[in-house]
Amino acid sequence: MIEYRIEADTAGMRLDKHLRKRLPNVPVSHLFKMIRTKKVRVNGKRAQPEQLLSEGDVLTIRGDEQQLVGAERPKVDPPPPPVDPSRLVILREDDWLMAVDKPSGMAVHTGSGITGGTLVDYVRAYLGPKAVRNDFAASPAHRLDRETSGVILVAKRRPAMVHFTEVFTHGLSRKRYLTLVKGKMPRDSGVIDLPLSEHQQTAESKARRGVNMQAAVTRWKVVKQSSEAALLSCAIETGRTHQIRRHLAAIGHPVAGDKKYGDFAFNRDVRARWGLKRLFLHAERIEFPHPEGGAKVAVEAPLAVELRDVLKRAALVP
């Protein structure tokens, strides 16, 4: 029989996933059978595959320990990602989290043809051996578009990731963005309450139940205005994909430099006159409760130099 307590860095993990890591030589089908037949118990009670483990839980696994654990597999460390971690701009770091100033053009994760040079690569190269802690690898806690710059949070421990999942799911954080948009805004501030179609809905899902619309709310405020463009401060109450870009385009004030939802003639003009070569969208500030104790934390990322230069040429410096 195997019996042990769940440590803090394992808390928040599903039982079935924990067992796969703890007993890598046991077939998954057999692990589920052990759970069904009550050979796996948590705090002496019948366990469920999907239940989340908590710190201090006592996990009991009935069976021959030598057969269950078996010969340990040799650990092979993955090759370090080919990135220079000194390029990483860290705004805040402690034992639980990192707040990083992500540059425009850096993807957060691999995917869609992106195989390396991601924020994940830089973070794990910077942390080195400390990137993995009790089978949890440091990971971004939320999304930021590839072309958007600014502050993004990274969870260094599993309990921190569990905490941030709750924070962002239940709207317990505040995010503020700076963006340059086309045209003169009709007033000093406003709210865009406009549902957006689910960005990653499959064609099969659309055919079966129609387009899935999701609630989305963006609050904007004019920081500086000219006859041609406006510098806005935006706060989002929901976290839909490309929300700010889609919302501002919908009301006729697309984000400067936006190749997907923007005004292409306006983009060409601001590139030629003001030197804007990227999307003008910057995650300036985030407020959130800290994973340890819940104290409010605020982190800010300064506006990138190339965007400040654009504002000077456009006479829109706040």
Average pLDDT, the chain: 89
pLDDT of residue 110: 78
Residue 203: strand, helix, or coil: helix
pLDDT of 71: 45
Q: What is the mean pLDDT of residues 281-296?
A: 96
* Two domains, one topology: 2-70 and 85-314: no
Kindly tell me if the per-residue pLDDT of 77 is higher than 60: no
Among the four given CATH numbers 3.40.50.620, 3.30.2350.10, 1.10.260.40, 3.40.50.300, the one describing domain 85-314: 3.30.2350.10
C-alpha span between 292 and 26 (Å, rounded): 35
At residue 259, the pLDDT reads: 95
**Quick one: tokens of 298?**
């605020």
Domain-wise residue ranges, the chain: 2-70, 85-314
Give the pLDDT band of residue 318 (cuts 50, 70, 90): confident
Q: Per-residue pLDDT for 281 more than 70?
A: yes
**CATH classification code of 2-70:** 3.10.290.10
For residue 145, indicate whether it is catalytic. yes
Catalytic-labelled residue, pool 57, 121, 145, 263: 145
At residue 132, φ and ψ (nearest 5 deg) are -115, 130
- Asked whether residue 223 carries a pLDDT value surpassing 90, the answer given is yes
Tell whether the model's pLDDT for residue 72 goes beyond 60. no
In the chain, % of residues over pLDDT 90: 60
Residue 76 has pLDDT above 60, yes or no: no
DSSP state of 157: S
List pLDDT tens digits, range 22-67.
888 888 888 888 888 888 999 989 889 889 988 889 989 888 777 7
pLDDT tens digits, residue range 94-153? 999 999 999 999 999 877 667 678 999 999 999 999 999 877 899 999 989 999 999 999
Q: What burial letters (b/e) apply to 279-289, b meaning 16+ CB within 10 Å?
A: bbbbbbbbebb
Task: Report the C-alpha gap between 301 and 225 in whole angstroms.
Answer: 22
The dihedral through the CA atoms of 8, 153, 101, 188 has a sign that is negative
Confidence band of 200 (pLDDT split at 50, 70, 90): low
